[in-house]
Amino acid sequence: MPNSKAHYERGIDVPKEYGQLRHDIWSDDDWLNLTVPAQHLYMVLLSDPTLNYCGVASWHVGRMAQRSAENTPQATLLAASELSDAHFIVIDEMTEEVMIRSYLKHDPILKNPRLSVTMAKEYGVIGSRKIRAALVYELQRLQKSNDDWPAWEKPQVKTILKQNAISAKTMETDLPMAGQAYFLTDLPSGLPSD
């Protein structure tokens, strides 16, 4: 079997097998201010098998809760709300997608022309307009601070950079109404539903 890490570094398209967790995350005050459940969920998302080259994964609260013996959907939503409020992730409950906001900043995808094209193709599969806009904003920020990266010369990436861009920090981060149903499941019977 070919060495997937070597193929990844050379830009040969392979399914993602790992996500990078940088050591300097432990020097980030925003990260250190998170609770253990929020940090755990972030690491779960970073290693999620559905995570693509855009840093977008499937968002299914019940499925995420099954990733550890002690987790519950309620605890997963609380951790997700914390990560969203701290701008580590962007969730779209409607399309059931989640984006790790700084994923492309910390993964070498944009330094590799072939993987940049793969990332651009996967952008087209994202259903959430909210996530697409947040991703474009992050790409535009990265282009300003890393204008020598080869990704910016690819026509597919240039097309993405022209799309609508919105900072995740200005988006609504309240817990979505669809997620609140999980919190109502533990009500004692006989209580009014409203």
Of 5-14, 55-64, 88-97, the range with the lowest mean pLDDT is 5-14
Measure Cα distances from 57 to 23, 33, 39 in Å.
23, 24, 17
Tens of pLDDT, residues 16-56: 566 667 788 899 999 999 999 999 999 999 999 999 999 99
Alpha helices (H) along 19-87:
29-32, 36-46, 61-65, 73-85
* Length of the chain, in residues: 194
Q: What is the pLDDT of residue 107?
A: 87
Mean model confidence pLDDT for the chain:
84
pTM to 2 decimals? 0.81
Q: Is the pLDDT of residue 75 over 90?
A: yes
pLDDT at 15: 52
> How large a percentage of the chain has pLDDT more than 90?
71
Query: Regarding predicted confidence, which is higher, 179 or 124?
Result: 124
Decide: 160 and 123 in contact? Cβ < 8 Å. yes
Percentage of the chain surpassing pLDDT 70? 78
Res. 160: pLDDT tops 90: yes
Answer whether residue 1 shows pLDDT above 90: no
What is d(CA 8, CA 14) in angstroms, rounded to the nearest whole number? 7
Helix axes 36-46, 73-85, angle to 10 degrees: 90
Report CA-CA distances (Å) from 45 to 6, 41, 63, 172, 191. 23, 6, 12, 21, 36
At residue 92, the 3 state secondary structure works out as strand
What are 32's two structure tokens?
Answer: 């250190």
Q: Between 105 and 13, name the one with better pLDDT.
A: 105
Q: Assign 3-class secondary structure to 99-152.
A: EECCHHHHCHHHHCHHHHHHHHHHHCCCCCHHHHHHHHHHHHHHHHHCCCCHHH
Q: Which two tokens stand for residue 78?
A: 């609380």
Across the range 93-118, mean pLDDT stands at: 93
Name the β-bridge partners of 58.
97
Highest mean pLDDT among 15-19, 94-98, 171-175 belongs to: 94-98
Specify the higher pLDDT residue, 20 or 152. Answer: 152
